[in-house]
A and B are shown apart, each in its own frame.
Chain A
Amino acid sequence: MFGEKALELVKELKRSGDGSLPPYNEDCVRQVLDEMKALFEQNQKDVSATVAGEGGRIAGVQLRHASLERNKRCLLAYVYNRMEKIRDMRWDFGSVLPDDVKNNLNEHELSWFGRYNRSLAKYMRSVGIDLTQDSKPPKSLYIEVRCLVDYGEFETEDGNVVLLKKNSQHLLHRADCEHLIRQGILEHII
């Protein structure tokens, strides 16, 4: 059935959903392109024959043309949707992709990512603001934290110096201590 392989590509992407991108399916893409070539060549033959006076070929030509359009649509959707996910990774992961992600991209996609990165960096430089930071609005409330280890002195954004001793408790801005919480030095008391 024409267009089956193309549909497989689309289904494969849909299955992966919001999860990680599967490896670029070179094989399947190649098969779709081969099918398109065959359909086109058969149509060319039929058109020549029709011009030469033979009848009964129009339906076949129309069917093959519809299949060609469908294959094109699925293939473009496959490439385009993968591209959108790769683009979104710049915002989620940063300008360097983790290896396990990189391995699933083909060379053209990797090069696309590089160009996207450069273009974005140029834009952000020209407006003077890093748009990949601050994805959430600043919170007014402090959070209460307990210090888990003897860390020593710590200077907040405001310039206040806090002494982080084991078991001491403090009120800090999330922005100040998020990374310390992640490292296990501070614990968020809820």
Chain B
Amino acid sequence: MDPSEVDFLSEKQHVKILPNFKEGRIFLISGDLGPFEPGLTAEVPLWMAVNLKQRKKCRIIPPDWMNIGQLEERKDEEKEREYFTEMPSKSYLELASLLLKSARDDIPHADEVQTLIKDIWEIRMAKLRKSINIMMQEKETHARLDNLTHLEINSIRPFLTSALDRMHILRCNVVENPSTGTDY
């Protein structure tokens, strides 16, 4: 999947905004939104939030988990646990990137937040690479990966699926020709 499509999907998530305009309910095809009152929080999809922010029509309220305290806790937990923790969103990195790019002034301690999220991502990716190695070595034929997020899955998809496809072919050949040995 193209990275632009991963971003596209992540933009469906809802975030809270503080509009500076007044408008009644909006009936989008994908659902009803609003009404919008200056100074009162409203919930809109990320793609709309970013658009309104850029046109200076709102401030964006970062999600609860996007603060230093909670992120530091998550980072510690991710480091300690062998398996993947559950992330607050299946598109946490895309969401964070987009907000840090388009609404940085609405995020307290943006620099630290950015670093922490990047750290968490890297810890998870390292775990992912390790799991893949183990999967290859153990010649697993399937795997369960509940807490992987969209971007993480997408980043390993090309390599992992084609490697497993090939291994499957080899395995089938061995089954058909047992005399050629089982070590492949």
* A–B direct contact (CB < 8 Å): yes
Interface set of A (CB-CB < 8 Å, partner B): 136-142, 171
CA gap between A143 and B87 in the complex, in Å: 30
Q: How far is the CB of B42 from chain A (nearest CB, A)?
A: 17
Q: Are A141 and B101 in contact (CB under 8 A)?
A: yes
CA gap between A141 and B4 in the complex, in Å: 12
Q: Are B50 and A141 in contact (CB under 8 A)?
A: yes
Q: Are A137 and B101 in contact (CB under 8 A)?
A: no
Chain A binding surface SS class: loop
Name the one of A136, A137, A140 contacting B51, with C-beta atoms under 8 angstroms.
Answer: A140
CA gap between A138 and B46 in the complex, in Å: 13
Number of B interface residues, CB 8 Å?
16
- Which chain B positions have C-beta within 8 A of A142? 51, 54-55
Which 7 residue pairs across A and B have the least CB separation, nearest first? A137-B8, A140-B47, A140-B50, A142-B54, A140-B51, A136-B4, A137-B4
B2 lies within 8 A of chain A by Cβ: yes
- Which chain B positions have C-beta within 8 A of A171? 54-55
B78 lies within 8 A of chain A by Cβ: no
CA gap between A171 and B50 in the complex, in Å: 13
CA gap between A28 and B54 in the complex, in Å: 60
Q: How far is the CB of B53 from chain A (nearest CB, A)?
A: 10
B111 lies within 8 A of chain A by Cβ: no
Q: How far is the CB of A142 from chain B (nearest CB, A)?
A: 5
Q: How far is the CB of B101 from chain A (nearest CB, A)?
A: 7
